[in-house]
Amino acid sequence: MQSNQGVTCPLCRGFIECYEPVNRNDPDSEQLEALLTEANRAARVAAAARAGTPIANKPEGSQALARADWGCKSCGNSNAWWSPRCTECDQPGPSPAPAKPATWGATEDVRQQIQVLRHPTMQKAFSELAVPITQQNQLGDFDESQMMKRLRDYPKGADKLLNLVKALSDPAFFRECSTHIHGNFTVQNLIEILARIRNSLSSQKPWAIENFKRFSRGLDPFAQLLYTMLPMATELAVHTQGTYVAQKLIFYINSQQELLDVCRAVLPDTVLLLQDDKGKFAVKKTVEALEELHARGPPCYPVVAKGINIAAKAFLPQFNKAMFAAGNNFGASVLTGIISMGIPCFESLDLSSRLATKARQLLTKGFYGLNVLSRMINSRGGPGSLEWYSEHTRDLLCIITMQILDMLPALAMSEEPSKREVKLVKDLVLRLAEEQEVLWIEEIIGELVNKGDELAPNKDAIDVLVTALSVDLLTDDDVHLHLLQLRELIGQAVYAIADQIEAKRGTNMQMPPLRYHMPSAIQPETRWWFLGGNKIHPPPPPPP
């Protein structure tokens, strides 16, 4: 039980949103039904609290309860409250949306105001709020403080904007205007104005906006447009005009729950959207929003991991699409986000493990494949409650080393001007030293020493070898033995390398304290066993 959040499932770590009896023929079914009714009421209140909406003991609590997720009675799948049909079996939802006043409908006048280029009524509505419109039907520069002053002094100015939002609350009309060649510009301008109004509002909100929320499940005007768009997010994202409306709504979201709902609407179709020239931008903006939230620190990590994990789940049934995505800009940005932000979740860990086993193929993907592999190597365990997955990132590191071990000398001798491949090898050595995988470091040194005569003329390759021999996990006897083997290949040149190693190791080199009670299960002696096609059982789901 998490305070004010609800009860989490010990297997999937998701919040429990509905309780159902296993055996309805039980003699104590009446008492059980009463208990489950109370538990379901508490679950709805907790769902409303997670959504940032008022709780049930406040006057507007009924609006909060109207935003609770619903479970499909046919397949048992949990669906978002804004989803009209089940995402698994396509069955309709259990209850329709709350009835809205008749004045919320779209009239012919409103249709013309939105779809006619530079309509006089729209121009006047925006000018009353001190918002200029350029000749290209885009918003000009305006002062938000002046706009808010006009909004409070002239309530009718807010009424004109809200009338447009009420009309656009109809999904069919919203789709029509968002995909219209001129109407989508008006919808974009309206979205930006509403987003700035929401960000500028103080605790005392205009009465018109408060009255609007009474009939919109407690949503403000911007959120009303956002949740109207979500059921058709994939359709708009791939549309020539509609994609700009979807991207603008994604860009201006400012709450964790809204971002999580956008992930639930957009990221399940990640593979499909990345193959579309328009849709890939919607995925990229969603991942960028998650990265901004991730930068706020550990309190936001669980929400970010849950959102990015949806994209990982979309890649798992068709892993070949993930390998294809690793070779382009948009796909690589999604995969690096999954690796760096989603690994605490089981699906993200599964996808990262599969990518690690394809490390050799990633090296052939050019810059973007190398970037994905580099991000995987530099992933670390999170702070606080996420420290447990440090062991999983250590195992990924060992899998990568096992896959590309024989390629490391060639990468270290790369003549590429940017030195990305050389840096990759050096980062791999340093990360293995950080994870105290001394046997893998010994294997890398052995591969480099065996190519000593080829490495000697290359300054960058020698620097990688010096870095590997300077780690504090190796004893002086181990280093001396490797230098003797190297002297057989390069002769007297080994003494210059020995001087560099001595300068790096120092005179008081001490073994660091043990970080883990035992090394990774993927060790050099099991390399050929794994490469021969043998498998180990997948890891259990992460702890709650």
Per-residue pLDDT tens digits for 25-79 = 666 667 777 788 788 878 877 776 665 443 333 333 334 445 667 778 777 777 7
DSSP E strands in 67-126: the ranges are 70-71, 78-79
Residues 126 and 64 in one domain: no
Phi, psi of 70 (to 5 degrees): -125, 150
Contact 332/368 with Cβ under 8 angstroms? yes
pLDDT for res 179? 92
Q: Greater confidence, 413 or 35? A: 413
Residues 70 and 136 in one domain: no
Q: Greater confidence, 525 or 238? A: 238
Residue 195 lies in a domain: yes
Residues near 7 by beta carbon (within 8 Å), at least 6 away in sequence? 1, 15, 16, 43, 46
Residues 195 and 246 in one domain: yes
**For residue 152, which amino acid is it?**
R
The per-residue b/e assignment along 243-269, b for 16 or more CB within 10 angstroms, e otherwise, is bbbbbbbbebbeebbbbbbbbbbbbbb
Distance (Å, whole) CA 272 – CA 291: 22
pLDDT for res 119? 79
pLDDT for res 387? 57
pLDDT tens-digit map of 96-119: 555 555 556 667 778 887 888 777
Q: Which long-range CB contacts under 8 A does 420-428 form with residues at least 24 apart?
A: 420/367, 420/370, 420/374, 421/370, 422/460, 422/461, 422/463, 422/464, 423/374, 424/370, 424/373, 424/374, 424/377, 425/464, 426/463, 426/464, 426/467, 427/374, 427/377, 427/378, 428/377, 428/397, 428/400, 428/401
Boundary residue ending a domain (218, 251, 284):
251
Distance (Å, whole) CA 59 – CA 57: 7
| DSSP character string of 26-77 | -TTHHHHHHHHHHHHHHHHHHHHHHTT---TTSTTHHHHHTT--EE-TTT--
Region of poorest pLDDT, from 149-163, 341-355, 506-520: 149-163
Per-residue tokens: 392: 């999983």
**DSSP letter, residue 415:** -
Residues 67 and 150 in one domain: no
Residue 387 lies in a domain: no
Chain mean position to CA 409: 35
Compute CA distances 281 → 106, 237, 266, 287, whole Å: 30, 8, 11, 10
Q: Greater confidence, 517 or 438? A: 438
pLDDT for res 12? 66
- Structural domain range at position 222: 103-251
pLDDT for res 28? 67
pLDDT for res 239? 93
pLDDT for res 48? 66
Contact 49/68 with Cβ under 8 angstroms? no
Residue 381 lies in a domain: no
Residue 347 lies in a domain: no
Contact 456/408 with Cβ under 8 angstroms? no
Boundary residue ending a domain (211, 234, 251):
251
Contact 326/362 with Cβ under 8 angstroms? yes
pLDDT for res 503? 87
In the block, residue with structure tokens 């219209």? 180
Residues 143 and 22 in one domain: no
Residue 161 lies in a domain: yes
Residue 334 lies in a domain: no
Mean residue pLDDT across the chain:
81
**What number is the average pLDDT over the span 73-94?**
77
Residue 376 lies in a domain: no
Whether pLDDT at 1 is above 60: no
Radius of gyration of the chain (CA): 29
Using alpha carbons, select from 330, 357, 352 the residue that is nearest to residue 339: 352
Using alpha carbons, select from 314, 317, 319 the residue that is nearest to residue 266: 314
Residues 21 and 113 in one domain: no
Q: How many angstroms separate the first and last alpha carbons of the chain? A: 11
pLDDT for res 2? 45
Contact 339/354 with Cβ under 8 angstroms? no
Residue 17 lies in a domain: yes
